[in-house]
Amino acid sequence: MSVENAPVVDVDEAAIPVEKKMYYRFESNDKKEFRVSELAIQQSETLNRLVEAMGYTSEDVENKPAIAIENIDGKTLKLVFQWCEHHKGEAIPVDDGSVPKIVEIPEFDAKLMDIDNGLLFKLIWAADYLNIVQLLNVSCKKVANMAQGKTPAQLRRVYLLPSDEEDEAAKRAAQEAQDPRAREVEEEFEERKRQGGNSFF
């Protein structure tokens, strides 16, 4: 895809000093390309280190291929870069060590994450992979909020958690699926134990 046709992330140009107006090009695993400001990239520790190591000039950015992010698709990456552009220049939050953590979801973030849970799931994976601390905080808070006012049974449905019975059934199934010769040996061992022997031999 050409740069002209690439999804363009809204950029607040007034907020960026002229001398720092540097952009990078990234490509998702489904070949969608994004231009992202240097300041926005600083929200991602992974990308920030990557572009620092590459040491690209403005000319390099235009002349060399876009930086490939191979395990994130375009739909997810668009959300990630929208978030980074909106929060560019903001300090990376420092954890005060308290648990439970008190995390507020700003209005912009709430709207950005008003998406289906499949995409939210991918967004969290992306925020984790790209090490975007605050995006990870707010997206995890969104997942945590799904638990509010839910009974244990509802929580199992929301988070797809197996019940004790299902865990037990899965364990039994795994045992049954194992090598029948090994199962035969185990059964023989159990039988010998019942008969009072301690050792298999």
Partner 1 sequence: MTLPLFKLPILVIKLVLETMGFIDLFVLTSASSKTKRIVKNLITIRNFRMNIFIKKEAIVFCFQKIGNLNYLNMIYMEPEKKRRDDVFRLKIGTNNVPSTFDETVDNAIVLTIYWKQTIDHVTKLYNTFFEIFKTPLKGINIDLKDVAVETYRSWIKWNNDYFFDSLYLEIVGTSTFHDYVWILKNVRTKNMLFLNAEPTDYPEDPENNEIVNVEAASVYIWFGRWMSMQQLKAIKAESITVRRVSSTDSQINTFLREMKALEVPSYLKKLRVRFNREANPAVVLEGLDVINEDLERPDDVLNQWSFTMASGEKCTAIYVEYEGDVPEFGFEFQVGN
Residues that bind partner 1 (CB under 8 A): 96-103, 116-117, 120-121, 124-125, 128, 136-137, 140-141, 143-144, 146-153, 155-164, 167
The residue (of 101 and 172) whose beta carbon lies closer to partner 1 is 101
Whichever of 54 and 155 has its CB closer to partner 1, that residue is 155
Nearer to partner 1, 48 or 137 (CB): 137
Min. distance of Cβ 53 from partner 1 in angstroms? 24
Q: Rank residues 39 and 132 by Cβ distance to partner 1 and give the closer one.
A: 132
CB of 40 to partner 1, least distance (A): 22
Choice between 10 and 116, CB closer to partner 1: 116
Instruction: Find the shortest distance in angstroms from Cβ 116 to partner 1.
Output: 7
The nearer residue to partner 1, 63 or 98, going by C-beta atoms, is 98
The torsion angles phi and psi of 27, rounded to 5 degrees, stand at -130, 130
User: Is the CB of residue 51 less than 8 Å from the CB of residue 24?
Assistant: yes
What distance separates the 2 farthest-apart alpha carbons in the chain?
85
Distance CA 22, CA 98 (A): 37
Q: How far is the CB of 144 from partner 1 (least distance, A)?
A: 4
Tell the smallest beta-carbon distance from residue 127 to partner 1 (Å): 9
* Tokens of residue 96, six digits: 């005060």
> Could you give the angle at the alpha carbon of 112 between the alpha carbons of 44 and 5, nearest 5°?
75
Least distance from partner 1 to the Cβ atom of residue 167, Å: 6
Angle between helices 133-145 and 117-129 (to 10 degrees): 150
- Beta-carbon contacts of 31 under 8 Å, excluding residues fewer than 6 positions away, are 1, 74
With 0-12 / 13-18 / 19 or more C-beta atoms within 10 angstroms meaning exposed / middle / buried, residue 93 is: exposed
